[in-house]
Amino acid sequence: MREENLNLRAVDLFAGAGGLSLGFENAGFEVVFAVENDIWNAETYRMNRNGKNREVILSDISQINLTDALKKFRLKKGEIDILLGGPPCQGFSFSNMKTRTIDNPKNHLFRQFLKAVKEIYPKWILFENVSGIVNFEKGKVIEIINSELRNLGYLCTWDVLNSADYGVPQMRKRFLLTANRLGIKFSFPKPAFGNGKKPCITVKDAISDLALLKNGNNIDSLPYCYNGSKLSNYQRDMRKDWGKNYCLNNWITKNSDLIVKRYKFIPPGGNWQNIPAYLMKNYKNKSNCHSGIYKRLKLDEPSIVISNFRKNMLIHPEQDRGLSVREAARLQSFPDWYVFYGRLGSQQQQVVDAVPPLLAEILGNRIMKYIIEC
């Protein structure tokens, strides 16, 4: 449902590498400008929008006068159709128990988003975060967000959605909140995959056409393994608008011989618990090892959540190595024409922090439907 003639305008805060923007652009929205404070995230965002007259403001959100930013684009308070944003969420995540407290300054960035709502006063809002925000401080953060938006005249709806239920080859649960000041009662799109519906998109569906790689591969551009009739529908979608016989971002972290030796003991679906004790002597307290460490993906299922896949040493389903940036991008539903910039560690972080563009597009289409019909 692409309604470009409606000229619906969006602003994306905490934009990262641009997954949320990409989805809403595909749904027909024009992202007037984005705000991002990391130089390589901003570079990736900018370079993938060359010639599209998009601007990414490289700055901390707290340092920007959003009223002036709107004026630059000849816009006034209240004229933006939707404000998008996913404040950095490590502080809310269950995997980050050390700083999962109210004292972590990152846990207050949602207030900057609320401040931006007051300055921009958009017709619609989409706020995204980790599912752990729901129970953080016994739901206090959600209560604050809902209360402040209601006081501004917004009608709020929130839910936790699993990306795999919407065609993304990854079990990734995210908190989504929509709100509008038009009195429209919104409902999220229903799952279309799994539980008796269409089969979930698997790791094989997503990455089996990509190059065979070795541990530590540092060759950026490599040809696909196969083409033509062997491609899954998902692979065809990822290659759409790319039109080349190769793809980029094939870099992989080079793991030590010891780590690669550990990999050999882990079956599909297994994790660090499959590694013999004599190879894990440097892990003094194994009770701190969560199930995602040394996890080998299964070809015939969606991936587990792509989170810190370098540090967790997420393992390719068939090869004794970590995932490449492009493989992780595929599992996040980034198309192959979308290129990531910066050092390897930065590229990896850009991918894992992003909102899956396919999920964002489905949400954009849903909101577009409400706008058209109401």
* Enzyme catalytic residues: 89
Asked if residues 99 and 108 have their Cβ atoms less than 8 Å apart, the reply is no
For the CA atoms of 190, 193, 197, 199, the dihedral, rounded to the nearest 10 degrees, stands at: 180
Smallest CA-to-CA distance from 368 within 184, 159, 114 is with 184
Tokens of 126: 């989409």
In a 3-state reduction of DSSP, which class is residue 105?
Answer: helix
Classify 223 in phi/psi space as left (phi over 0), alpha (psi -120 to 50) or beta: beta
Task: Return the ∠ at Cα 19 (arms to 15 and 23), rounded to 5°.
Answer: 115
**DSSP-assigned letters across all residues of 109-148:** HHHHHHHHHHHH--SEEEEEEEGGGGTGGGGHHHHHHHHH
In a 3-state reduction of DSSP, which class is residue 56?
Answer: strand
Tokens of 341: 């910039």
Sequence-ordered list of residues with C-beta below 8 angstroms from that of 29, at least 6 positions apart, any chain: 8, 9, 10, 81, 82, 364, 368
**DSSP-assigned letters across all residues of 319-337:** SSSB--HHHHHHHTT--TT
Q: For the chain, how big is the Rg over CA atoms in Å?
A: 21
In a 3-state reduction of DSSP, which class is residue 161?
Answer: strand
CA–CA distance, 321 with 83 (Å, rounded to integer) = 40
